[in-house]
Amino acid sequence: MLTVIYLTAITAEAMSGALAAGRRNMDIFGVAVIAFVTALGGGTLRDLVLGNFPVGWTQHPEYIYLVISAGLLTTVIAPYMHHLKHAFLVLDAMGLVAFSLIGVSVALGMDYPTVVVVMSGMITGICGGILRDVLCNQVPVVFRRELYASVSLAVCALFLVLREFGVNTDVNTLISFATGLSLRLLAIWRGWQLPTFSYQQRWE
Amino acid sequence: MLTVIYLTAITAEAMSGALAAGRRNMDIFGVAVIAFVTALGGGTLRDLVLGNFPVGWTQHPEYIYLVISAGLLTTVIAPYMHHLKHAFLVLDAMGLVAFSLIGVSVALGMDYPTVVVVMSGMITGICGGILRDVLCNQVPVVFRRELYASVSLAVCALFLVLREFGVNTDVNTLISFATGLSLRLLAIWRGWQLPTFSYQQRWE
Amino acid sequence: MLTVIYLTAITAEAMSGALAAGRRNMDIFGVAVIAFVTALGGGTLRDLVLGNFPVGWTQHPEYIYLVISAGLLTTVIAPYMHHLKHAFLVLDAMGLVAFSLIGVSVALGMDYPTVVVVMSGMITGICGGILRDVLCNQVPVVFRRELYASVSLAVCALFLVLREFGVNTDVNTLISFATGLSLRLLAIWRGWQLPTFSYQQRWE
């Protein structure tokens, strides 16, 4: 089941990357690159930091074709995408939660300390979007948007706590997934935000 | 022969990096860093993603000295460089094509799937320029300029197709190199471009 | 002793990252990420480039807690931090020098060529700040500020020269550290700068 969700997730992330590229008037090649990086960049960075070679997508050519196709398709259906706004937000939220759980699972298989396992989940969940924004030359939105990265953190922590209590992995995945998805959608609906830190002094 | 072309290529890339640094009024240290990253950053990223350790330039100190010297020399000859415009464009095109073929060759030696081999060529060919633009705080030009990344893709694909047909590697390299170089120079001359994707709606 | 200095250094770097995040009005999650990346990003990049797995901080959860706490604490004490300007500059300078020496020491243990050892020191010393600035969408200040990266270079070179002369490692570390710290503080005090390269022609 996580595989189906994962494929849905990388498709949604690729589409979000393509839209960001369109906002910068990139050519279709740039669209393909940004789609790829948004969808698979978080997992790549996680594999590099954990020393988990070979990097995931290099063993799954079908993922590469999927995200590039999704990116290019987006250039065609873009004029109609605002009608799909709600579906898109749900897919994006599913992606965030699925990526986080996959990142946790990869690090758990490698004997890293607990806090590194959590960070592995978060790197997988949010770094694709960070790389997209850096390549599009803007401050990453995950650092400023309603609860996004925090949802990733909550999902990873919940999964590890339930695991500590001996909950079966499949059940645990289901509970963590549902909780994370609900939290993210609630955050969007209610406009929940973390407090912001503003600092304008220039004494350095 | 590819070695000579490679050395010419990293020199040309280092010079292009130095000019970009100059446009941001960096000090000579920044110039050296940007020159280095532009010339050797694509290969570094390729080696990281493929898990190909040790990273290439760490075993070739002479490359490091070469690109940093080229970067610093550029600050001296910059006032005269526009006279060399055409030579520079040819060197840059040679670099793009040579880098792509080298990236293909590295990945072929590591048993990666075909699409990853192509991506290895493209990462080597274009990521130095992407890193340069990110460090200089601008949207990467390769996502917007006349056929550039597409030339890298074409070269990698052509090389793999000819290889499949059993063409001798040296002959194949020569054909792919000449074809890629011609394509790039034609694209500059005729102003060939990929279609652009513009998307300005803000519903997310 | 280098450990104590190292902990002080990552704390100072985390605080500098938090202030940069505050200048971009990030939420407290963004503050934590930028603090982490500024403090530990340079070492991470060094470990990736050298193929030195597992990456340092993944084996030291306490570093992660320390830098994130320092980042969040900064959001509370920020209004008073300009009173600490001088202490902060000294801590930051200590960080730069300590990071550089640690990077040298890691590469020396891995049989890399001398110039790569120097680059390892510099990557560790300055790349945290570069990543911070890229994520905050600005041209890295280390490419433009008074002697900063050059101090890192000088410290690495001095350490390797003294080592070549057979100076005991502890004594060498002490001398290199003191020299580098003095050089950096002198540079701030006297406003020493490297020559700048400006290039505004657009012929490419």
- Do C27 and A197 make contact, defined as CB atoms within 8 angstroms? yes
Neighbours of B185 (CB within 10 A): 16
Q: Which two tokens stand for residue C160?
A: 């390797």
Do the beta carbons of residue A16 and residue B196 sit within 8 Å? Answer: no
pLDDT at C204: 52
Does residue A133 surpass a pLDDT of 70?
yes
- Does residue A133 fall inside a structural domain? yes
**What pLDDT digit, counting tens, does each position of C101-121 carry?**
999 999 999 989 999 999 999
**What pLDDT digit, counting tens, does each position of C154-171 carry?**
999 999 999 999 999 999
Q: How far apart are CA B187 and CA C70, in angstroms?
A: 52
**What pLDDT digit, counting tens, does each position of B21-46 carry?**
988 888 888 899 999 999 999 999 99
**What pLDDT digit, counting tens, does each position of A46-70 carry?**
999 999 999 999 999 999 999 999 9
- Do A28 and B113 make contact, defined as CB atoms within 8 angstroms? no
What is the amino acid identity at position A120? Answer: S
Distance of CA B109 to the CA centre of its chain: 20
Mean residue pLDDT of chain C comes to 89
Where residue A11 falls among pLDDT bands split at 50, 70, 90?
Answer: very high
**Which residues of chain C have a CB within 8 Å of the CB of B137?**
134, 137-139
Say yes or no: A18 contacts chain B, CB-CB below 8 A: yes
Q: Which domain holds residue C128?
A: 2-190
Mean residue pLDDT of chain B comes to 89
Block residue for tokens 């020491």: C105
- Does residue A165 fall inside a structural domain? yes
Closest CB to B44 among C49, C194, C199: C49
Handedness of CA B30, B48, A94, A168 (dihedral sign): negative
Say yes or no: C22 contacts chain A, CB-CB below 8 A: yes
Does residue C84 surpass a pLDDT of 80?
no
- Averaged pLDDT, C167-183: 94
At residue B147, φ and ψ (nearest 5 deg) are: -25, 110
Where residue A81 falls among pLDDT bands split at 50, 70, 90?
Answer: confident
pLDDT at B139: 85
* Contact pairs from chain A to chain B, CB under 8 Å: 96
- Does residue B197 fall inside a structural domain? no
Q: C147 CA to chain B: closest CA distance, Å?
A: 9
Which residue in B16, B19, B26 has the most chain C C-beta atoms within 10 A of its own C-beta, making it the best mutation to test that interface?
A: B26
| Mean pLDDT lowest among A48-52, A168-172, B87-91 | B87-91
**Which residues of chain C have a CB within 8 Å of the CB of B28?**
194-197
Query: Which DSSP string do the residues of A185-203 spell out, in sequence order?
Result: HHHHHHT--PPB-------
- Does residue B199 fall inside a structural domain? no
**What pLDDT digit, counting tens, does each position of B120-164 carry?**
999 999 999 899 999 988 888 888 766 888 899 999 999 999 999
Q: B176 CA to chain C: closest CA distance, Å?
A: 25
**C58 vs C144, higher pLDDT:** C58
Do the beta carbons of residue A93 and residue A181 sit within 8 Å? Answer: yes
pLDDT at C202: 65
- Does residue C162 fall inside a structural domain? yes
pLDDT at C203: 57
Do the beta carbons of residue C152 and residue B32 sit within 8 Å? Answer: no
Mean residue pLDDT of chain A comes to 89
Block residue for tokens 């000449």: B178
Closest CB to A199 among C22, C55, C89: C22
Do the beta carbons of residue C36 and residue A153 sit within 8 Å? Answer: no
Say yes or no: A23 contacts chain B, CB-CB below 8 A: yes
Q: How far apart are CA A124 and CA A130, in angstroms?
A: 11
Q: C150 CA to chain A: closest CA distance, Å?
A: 19
Does residue B203 surpass a pLDDT of 60?
no
- Does residue B198 fall inside a structural domain? no
Neighbours of C80 (CB within 10 A): 8
**Which residues of chain A have a CB within 8 Å of the CB of C15?**
none
- Does the predicted model carry a pTM greater than 0.80? yes
- Do A85 and B203 make contact, defined as CB atoms within 8 angstroms? yes
Query: Which DSSP string do the residues of B148-198 spell out, in sequence order?
Result: SHHHHHHHHHHHHHHHHTT--HHHHHHHHHHHHHHHHHHHHHHT--PPB--
By percentage, how much of chain A surpasses pLDDT 90?
Answer: 61
Number of structural domains, chain A?
1
- Does residue A172 fall inside a structural domain? yes
pLDDT at C181: 94
Query: Which DSSP string do the residues of B16-82 spell out, in sequence order?
Result: HHHHHHHHTT-BHHHHHHHHHHHHHHHHHHHHHHHT-SSPGGGG-HHHHHHHHHHHHHHHHHGGGGG
- Do B193 and A21 make contact, defined as CB atoms within 8 angstroms? no
**B97 vs A80, higher pLDDT:** B97
pLDDT at C31: 92
Which residue in B152, B184, B199, B201 has the most chain A C-beta atoms within 10 A of its own C-beta, making it the best mutation to test that interface?
A: B199
Does residue A120 surpass a pLDDT of 90?
yes
- Does residue C204 fall inside a structural domain? no
Which range scores top for mean pLDDT: A22-26, A119-123, C90-94?
A: A119-123
- Averaged pLDDT, C15-25: 89
- Do C27 and A203 make contact, defined as CB atoms within 8 angstroms? no
Where residue B183 falls among pLDDT bands split at 50, 70, 90?
Answer: very high
Say yes or no: C115 contacts chain B, CB-CB below 8 A: yes
Does residue A104 surpass a pLDDT of 90?
yes
**Which residues of chain A have a CB within 8 Å of the CB of B198?**
22, 25
Does residue B202 surpass a pLDDT of 70?
no
Say yes or no: B22 contacts chain C, CB-CB below 8 A: yes
Say yes or no: A22 contacts chain B, CB-CB below 8 A: yes
- Do C25 and A144 make contact, defined as CB atoms within 8 angstroms? yes
